[in-house]
């Protein structure tokens, strides 16, 4: 199966990017992130929710973020540097249906051998899981504090 069997592009980008690029927005993702997300989705065997704005939900900034996204605009307005992996198509925040953050973190630890590329996981998130492929490349999983 391909990542596109499990996710619509709207689930991975903000409305700003989708409105302008539609399906061409797949180009903005680091292929390693998509590989990792596919392996996690197939391995864990449950729906993964990144963004849900296109189905009326509140999440729109959990995948690719652009300069028009609120999180980014707010940092810019304060003249604060912001170089999140979310800006580079290298990160997603997500929930797995029926599992809490702790359970997903445990699953990742137990199944890290499956990961096709090294990832970073934010260890102190509350209510979601953050993964990205901005890794040092030496370990399957690098845990970091956001
Ligand atoms: Zn945006």
Separation in Å, CA 54 to CA 12, 16, 63, 71, 79: 10, 12, 13, 19, 30
| Averaged pLDDT score across all residues of the chain | 97
pLDDT-derived band of residue 146, with 50, 70 and 90 as boundaries?
A: confident
The pLDDT of residue 137 = 79
Q: How large is the average pLDDT for residues 2-28?
A: 98
User: In which residue are the tokens 């797949």 written?
Assistant: 26
| Per-residue confidence (pLDDT) for residue 23, from 0 to 100 | 98
Dist CA 137 CA 1 (whole Å): 26
Q: Distance, CA 109 to ligand 1 centroid (Å)?
A: 32
- Six token digits for residue 26: 């797949």
Q: Would you state the pLDDT for residue 49?
A: 98
The closest alpha carbon to 44, from 132, 124, 105, belongs to: 105
How far apart are alpha carbons 132 and 30 in whole angstroms? 10
pLDDT in tens, 77-135: 999 999 999 999 999 999 999 999 999 999 999 999 999 999 999 999 989 999 999 98
CA of 65 to the centre of ligand 1 (A): 5
Distance of CA 114 from the midpoint of ligand 1 (Å): 32
Closest to 6 (Cα-Cα) out of 58, 55, 45: 45
Q: How far is the CA of 141 from the centre of ligand 1 (A)?
A: 28
CB atoms within 5 A of ion ligand 1 belong to 14, 16, 66, 68-69
Asked if residues 137 and 124 have their Cβ atoms less than 8 Å apart, the reply is no
pLDDT for 43-66, tens place per residue?
999 999 999 999 999 999 999 999
Ligand 1 midpoint to CA 64 (Å)? 8
CA of 134 to the centre of ligand 1 (A): 21
64-93: per-residue pLDDT in tens?
Answer: 999 999 999 999 999 999 999 999 999 999
């Amino acid at each position: 199966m391909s990542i596109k069997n499990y996710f619509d592009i709207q689930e991975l980008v903000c409305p700003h990017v989708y409105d302008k690029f539609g399906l061409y927005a797949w180009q903005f993702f680091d292929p390693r992130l998509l590989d990792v997300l596919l392996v996690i989705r197939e391995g864990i065997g449950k729906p993964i929710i990144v963004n849900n704005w296109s189905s009326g939900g509140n999440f729109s900034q959990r995948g690719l973020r652009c300069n028009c996204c609120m999180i980014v605009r707010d940092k810019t307005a304060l003249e604060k540097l912001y170089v999140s992996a979310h800006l580079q198509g290298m990160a997603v925040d997500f929930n797995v249906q029926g599992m809490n953050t702790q359970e997903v973190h445990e699953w990742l630890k137990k199944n890290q051998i499956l990961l096709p590329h090294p990832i970073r996981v934010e260890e102190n998130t509350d209510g979601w899981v953050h993964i990205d492929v901005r890794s040092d490349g030496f370990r399957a999983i690098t845990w970091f504090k956001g």
